Amino acid sequence: MNQAHNLDLNLLRVFDVLLEERSVTRTGARLGLTQSAVSHALNRLRYMLSDDLFVRGTAGMQPTPRAVEMGPQVHAALNQLQAALAPSDFDPAISERRFAVVTGAYASAILAPPVASRLAEVAPHAELMIAELALDVLERMDARRADFLVGSVLAAPERYARETIFTEELVWVVRAAHPAFQSARIDMATLVSVPHIVIARNLPGLIEEGGERRPFVSRASWEDAGAFEAALAAGGLTRRVGVSVPDTYTALAVAGRTDMATLIPRRLALLSARVQLIDPPYESPRVNVSLLYLKERLAEPAIAWMHELIRSVAATL
Within-domain flag for 181:
yes
Residues of the domain holding 34 = 1-85
Within-domain flag for 31:
yes
**How many independent structural domains does the chain possess?**
2
CA dist 41 and 10 (Å) reads 8
Angle at 138 between CA 264 and CA 9, to 5 degrees: 130
228's torsion region: left (phi>0), alpha (psi -120 to 50) or beta? alpha
For 12, 26, 28, 45, 78, the CA distances from 34, given in Å and listed in that order, are 16, 10, 5, 17, 22
Among candidate residues 34, 58, 85, the one where a domain is terminated: 85
- pLDDT tens for 138-195 read 888 888 889 999 999 888 888 899 999 999 999 999 999 999 998 878 999 999 999 9
CA dist 204 and 170 (Å) reads 21
Instruction: State the DSSP string of 37-50.
Output: HHHHHHHHHHHHHT
Position 210 scores a pLDDT of 42
Within-domain flag for 24:
yes
Among candidate residues 85, 114, 148, the one where a domain is terminated: 85
- pLDDT tens for 31-68 read 888 889 999 999 999 988 899 999 988 878 999 999 98
Position 58 scores a pLDDT of 83
**What pTM was computed for the model?**
0.72
Q: 177 and 276: one domain?
A: yes
Within-domain flag for 281:
yes
Is the Cβ–Cβ distance between 224 and 243 less than 8 Å?
no
Within-domain flag for 296:
no
CA dist 171 and 222 (Å) reads 9
CATH for 44? 1.10.10.10
Within-domain flag for 41:
yes
Position 83 scores a pLDDT of 67
Q: Is 153 exposed, middle or buried (0-12, 13-18, 19+ CB in 10 A)?
A: buried
- pLDDT tens for 259-308 read 999 999 999 999 999 999 999 999 999 999 999 999 989 989 999 999 99
Is the Cβ–Cβ distance between 92 and 80 less than 8 Å?
no
194 alpha-carbon distance from chain centroid = 32
Within-domain flag for 23:
yes
Closest to 16 (Cα-Cα) out of 98, 89, 90, 135: 98
CATH for 268? 3.40.190.10
Within-domain flag for 309:
no
Q: Is 297 exposed, middle or buried (0-12, 13-18, 19+ CB in 10 A)?
A: buried
CA dist 5 and 11 (Å) reads 13
